[in-house]
């Protein structure tokens, strides 16, 4: 089982007031594309980074050995804790309380643009990925007109969002030992990062 390491300091809870209503506004569904890209192995250990209420993670519980949802919002995590099979952990993504090489799969859905330090967060996710493991980041594709409008609206709302196009997201990860691929479908992009290091004997 995954063990937490160290003491957590959590930033201001920006989304807490939405927690009880979150899934009424954002549907709790998992796309076929995301499921195929994740391809969670039997008994795999999975991290949903900035996973909020666990609205995506809940669909991965059946075959995984452990599902960990990390989020800054304690109120979001209270909602996640109501879903069976999810282990909630309160932390910011830029400094995660887990040992190196802890997870077989890591996902981040519609959250990267909300992070204060995207480069540091990406390196943290890479640190936690096991050799042979896979990270999948699903983000709105800011190159599309609809997402450009969303980006402007979030700036007006003072959300401090910072959208990156898929190529720049891919560039956040170290080139050595990382195999990166990009898929897009309309306003959605998926960036997949595989750890090509060999499993230790």
User: Could you give the CA distance from residue 134 to residue 126 in angstroms, rounded to a whole number?
Assistant: 9
Q: Which pLDDT does position 25 carry in this prediction?
A: 64
Tell whether 4 is covered by a domain: no
Enclosing domain of residue 92: 29-195
Residue 40 Cα distances to 10, 83, 183, angstroms: 29, 19, 18
Percent of the chain surpassing pLDDT 70: 83
Query: pTM, whole model, 2 decimals?
Result: 0.86
Alpha-carbon span 14 to 18, nearest angstrom? 9
Torsion angles phi and psi, residue 35, rounded to 5: -60, -40
- Is the separation of the CB atoms in 193 and 135 below 8 Å? yes
Cα 184 to Cα 170: distance, rounded to the nearest angstrom: 13
> Are residues 56 and 136 in contact, defined by beta-carbon separation less than 8 angstroms?
no
Q: Is residue 19 part of a domain?
A: no
**pLDDT at position 10, please?**
36
CB 53 within 8 A of CB 74: no
Q: Give 69-83 pLDDT, tens digit per residue.
A: 999 988 889 989 999
**How many CB atoms are located within 10 Å of the residue 183 CB?**
15
Q: Residues 133-173: pLDDT tens digits? A: 999 999 999 999 999 998 888 776 667 789 999 999 999 99
Would residue 174 count as lying in a domain? yes
What is the count of structural domains for the chain? 1
Q: Does residue 83 contact residue 108 with C-beta atoms inside 8 Å?
A: no
- Please indicate, yes or no, if residue 178 is contained in any of the structural domains: yes
List the CATH number of the domain containing 58: 3.40.50.150
Would the pLDDT of 19 be above 90?
no
CB count, 10 Å around CB of 170? 20
In this structure, are residues 60 and 38 in contact, taking their beta carbons and an 8 Å threshold? yes
Asked whether residue 9 is domain-assigned, the answer is: no
Determine the Cα–Cα distance for residues 24 and 1; give it in Å rounded to an integer.
32
Q: Residue 28 pLDDT more than 60? A: yes
Residue 63 pLDDT level (bands cut at 50, 70, 90) = confident
- How many whole angstroms separate alpha carbon 141 and alpha carbon 185? 9
In a domain, 185, yes or no: yes
**198: exposed, middle or buried (Cβ count in 10 Å: 0-12, 13-18, 19+):** exposed
Asked if the structure places residue 153 within a domain, the reply is: yes
């Amino acid at each position: 089982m995954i063990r937490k390491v160290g003491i957590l300091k959590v930033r201001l809870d920006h989304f807490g007031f939405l927690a009880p209503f979150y899934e009424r506004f954002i549907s709790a569904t998992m796309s076929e594309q995301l499921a195929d890209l994740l391809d969670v192995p039997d008994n795999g250990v999975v991290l949903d980074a900035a996973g909020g209420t666990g609205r995506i993670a809940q669909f991965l519980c059946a075959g995984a050995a452990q599902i960990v949802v990390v989020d800054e919002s304690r109120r979001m995590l209270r909602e996640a804790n109501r879903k069976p099979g999810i282990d909630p952990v309160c932390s910011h993504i830029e400094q995660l309380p887990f040992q190196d090489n802890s997870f077989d799969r890591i996902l981040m859905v519609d959250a990267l643009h909300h992070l204060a330090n995207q480069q540091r967060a990406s390196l943290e996710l890479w640190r936690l990925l096991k050799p042979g493991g896979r990270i999948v980041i699903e983000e709105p594709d800011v190159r599309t007109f609809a997402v450009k409008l969303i980006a402007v609206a979030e700036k007006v709302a003072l959300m401090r969002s910072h959208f990156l196009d898929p190529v720049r997201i891919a560039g956040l990860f170290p080139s050595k030992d990382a195999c990166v691929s990009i898929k897009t479908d309309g306003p959605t992009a998926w960036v997949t990062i595989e750890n090509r290091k060999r499993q230790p004997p």
